[in-house]
Amino acid sequence: MTADSGDELALLPRLAQLGTAMNRGRLAQQATEATGLALDRPAMTILLTLAMAGAPLRVGEIADRMQVVGPHVTRQVQALEQRGLVRRVTDPNDRRASLIEPTATGAEAATRYTSTIADWFREAIAGWSPEDRTELNRLLTKLTDDLTTRLTDS
């Protein structure tokens, strides 16, 4: 792709469309319903962020990964904590600080959500060749890594 090819501009509406489908569309609603819990998008995103991290995180780390400010995460974490979906644990590196981790119920909700999304993707690309699936994974991984690095460096 050359800088003036226009391919990048043609990609933007597709990325926006995919983002909308994943975050605000029927798919997100179905996946949230599959959790069996009444959760709004920010709360679900925190549970997913914690599940994908695979380890407890500080509120600031959650906010960074979600690309939002800390106070929004703090309020959501408090609400999730009251519902028994996350808990605070002591940071082993700094006893004054706490980390957030999902409870078993919170982790199960994140698993049900991601399973619903994964099933939807499996169905969407069921007719694709193994090579096309591999290429999609490779290119999406490369795009995500490059964009994340660029956003982090900015």
Residue with tokens 């490369």: 142
User: Tokens at residue 50, please?
Assistant: 């914690």
- Which phi and psi angles does 59 have, rounded to 5°? -55, -40
With a pLDDT cut of 70, the percent of the chain lying above it is: 94
Indicate the pLDDT class of residue 1, thresholds 50, 70 and 90: very low
Domain ranges within the chain, ordered by starting residue: 12-119
Question: What's the pLDDT score for residue 130?
Answer: 95
- Greatest alpha-carbon pair distance for the chain in Å reads 54
Dihedral of alpha carbons 60, 107, 110, 123, sign:
positive
pLDDT digits (tens, 9 = 90+) for 70-118: 888 999 999 999 999 999 999 888 888 899 999 999 999 999 999 998 9
pLDDT digits (tens, 9 = 90+) for 52-65: 998 999 999 999 88
Q: What is the pTM of this model?
A: 0.77
Domain 12-119, CATH class in plain words: mainly alpha
Indicate the pLDDT class of residue 26, thresholds 50, 70 and 90: confident
CA-nearest of 70, 119, 61 to 91 is: 61
pLDDT for residue 119 is more than 80: yes
